[in-house]
Amino acid sequence: MKTLLVIPNNKKDFYNAEKFNDTYYISLKFKDNFEKELQKRIKELDKKEFDVIFIKESLGPTCLDFTGIKLAWYIRLLSNKHKFKPIIILSNFDAVLIKKITFLGDILFTQGVYLIDEFIEGRFTPLKDYKNFINLVKIPLPLEYNSNHDLSNDWALYVWAKNFDVKMDKLFIKFEEKFYFQYLKAKYELEVKKQKVELKNQNLKILAIDDKKEWGEIYKKVEIEFYNIQDCKFNENIIEDYDMIILDLRLRKEDYKKEQKIQNYYSYKLVERFLQTNPAVWIVIFSSSKNAEIIQEFKKFPNVIDYIKKNHPEDKENNILDSINKFNKAFAWVKENKYLKEIWQIKREIEDILEQINFEKEIINELKIANELVFYNLTCNENKKKFEYAMLAIYKILEIIKDYFIKQDYKNKKKLFIKKPFNKSIDFIINDNLEIENNDDTKQFYFNSTAHKLKLILYYIDDKKLYDNKFLYDFFKEIAFYRNGFVHPDKSKSNTFNTLNSSLIIRLYKNTYQFLLKIASF
């Protein structure tokens, strides 16, 4: 049996080194970084291989520093050659007393670790069940971390930086030298090697907002702009320059208070304001918090498309691969729905125009509701026919205008009546070639169509111009074609389900705006 004795220099005469095959001296001083020194000694010890290791319980400047026991921990956590070998702790203290003094005493009650007061020869059982060992022992959260939230944030930074090859020497040293980090790594079988997971931002313009400046280096690596909320007051108007916002949950010191209400979080207030500014700038909350109530509160916002948790070592179901896959899914969704920013802009322009149109209040309210429905139908996740319903909302705007101006002469169905200031009876047709011709029985269906009535309205309010407004005449006919194809699929040759798309909806909506401009300027 090849044995090793590990003792401080000042104990040379106290233990008979001749009884051991090898002796390794460690004398730690107050000024030493104990964690760094002990980890370095593990690498030195692994240059040889022993069957049993004897260690004095304290290797530092006091008899109660228990650095020898911590070395035993490091052997279990880090050693390549001695992780399972029997470890004998030499001490005059009782195991129960040591455990009361320090959490390090947990290891004394695990398989393969013995506590004796002097060297004895015998057969010592090695550690066989490592999983059982790591589940028996527990290291408390270091005092430097106020909560698991702080640990989660640091851990997520560490893992993400490793994954994307971002150099953060201070952060890496802070983590890798920590005893607690080595414990977490062993307990949760964590891999912090580069996983080669790619974040595909889909060429979107994305802004990340966080109170930890270290995240800026990671986001920069994947071409995402970063705003450190602690630098200065955030200019909320800039969000319209972006397609998507990645938002941390706790951005102010007061957000970390336990009594702080969710609605008072600065991030919550930002989401509310972003919703008013442009709800088509989509938001992903990226946070260390696993609080279900918080998650549900944020998911109530229509502009929040996901809540992604920052990686925590204890959360095996949420590793970096899962997080990046969620981000990639969100990016792909935002790219697919990027057109909604333009839809929202047209919606606001129409709202401004409606304020200038001199219709009765009830009619204006109807127009506003129809205008709201365009954006709503396109963003309703449950709406599988969103383009069709958006088209119908646009068509509704035109129908309200048509019904406001045009009245049917029921005594003489071949005539229409246009409201004041014209107060005219109409019995002629503007045909597809933009020519005026008399109405007859063969043209009656065309005469009474919504598209033709809209032509007549435009003809009168724009000083009887025809060719100058050809694009709008074509638009009236086109949207009526799509509307009839959807409402009367059996009678129509059009297949709106396969035809309508985001580009077409934008064009129909823009033409509606142009028509409303004519109405407003009349």
The residues pairing with 417 across neighbouring beta strands, listed in sequence order, are 407, 425
Residues 249 and 237 in one domain: yes
* Number of residues that this document lists for the chain: 522
Query: How many angstroms separate the most distant Cα atoms in the chain?
Result: 125
Contact 22, 44 (CB under 8 A): no
Instruction: Output the pLDDT for position 493.
Output: 58
Structural domain containing residue 71? 3-136
Cα 344 to the center of its chain, rounded Å: 22
- What is the DSSP pairing of strand 416-418 with strand 424-426? antiparallel
User: Which residues of 403-521 form beta strands (DSSP E)?
Assistant: 406-408, 416-418, 424-426, 428-430, 436-438
Shared domain check, 68 and 169? no
Task: Identify the CATH number of the domain in which residue 74 sits.
Answer: 3.40.50
| Residue 210 shares a structural domain with residue 153 | yes
Q: In this structure, are 495 and 452 located in the same domain?
A: yes
Q: Of the candidates 94, 113, 136, which is a domain's last residue? A: 136
Q: Are residues 174 and 297 in the same domain?
A: yes
Sites in the chain below the pLDDT cut of 50: 194
Cβ-based neighbours of 230, under 8 Å, separated by 6 or more: 211, 213
Q: 295 and 384 share a domain?
A: no
DSSP conformation letters of 11-72: GTTTS-GGGSSEEEE----TTS-HHHHHHHHHHHHTTS--SEEEEES--SSSTTS-HHHHHH
The residue from 108, 136, 164 where one domain ends is: 136
Q: Is 458 exposed, middle or buried (0-12, 13-18, 19+ CB in 10 A)?
A: buried
What lies within 8 Å, CB to CB, of 136 at 6+ separation is 106, 109, 110
pLDDT of residue 114: 94
pLDDT given for residue 190 in this prediction: 60
Q: What is the reported pLDDT for 492?
A: 57
Within a 10 A sphere around the Cβ of 106, how many other Cβ atoms? 18
Is residue 177 domain-shared with residue 262, that is, in the same domain? yes
- Stated as kind and residue range, the H or E segment containing 453 is helix 450-461
The number of beta carbons lying within 10 Å of the beta carbon of residue 267 is: 23
Nearest to 489 by CA among 384, 498, 376: 498
Nearest to 158 by CA among 288, 250, 251: 288
Say whether both 323 and 416 belong to one domain: no
Instruction: At 231, list the tokens.
Output: 């630098």
Do residues 50 and 21 touch, judged by C-beta distance below 8 A?
yes
Q: Strand order of the sheet with strand 87-90?
A: 22-25, 3-7, 52-56, 87-90, 113-116
Last residue of a domain, one of 83, 117, 136: 136
pTM (predicted TM-score): 0.79
Q: Are residues 264 and 403 in the same domain?
A: no
DSSP state of 250: -
Neighbours of 213 (CB within 10 A): 12
Residues 211 and 119 in one domain: no
User: Residue 306's domain is classified under what CATH number?
Assistant: 3.40.50.2300
Q: Which residue type does 356 have? A: Q
- Would you call 358 exposed, middle or buried from its count of C-beta atoms within 10 A (0-12, 13-18, 19+)? exposed
- Do both 50 and 115 map to the same domain? yes
Q: What residues contact residue 26 under an 8 Å CB cut-off, 6+ apart?
A: 6, 7, 8, 37, 41, 59, 67, 71
> How many folded domains does the chain comprise?
3
Q: How high is the pLDDT of residue 374?
A: 97
Say yes or no: 306 and 159 in one domain. yes
- Element containing residue 325 per DSSP (H, E): helix 320-336
Residue 240's pLDDT is: 84
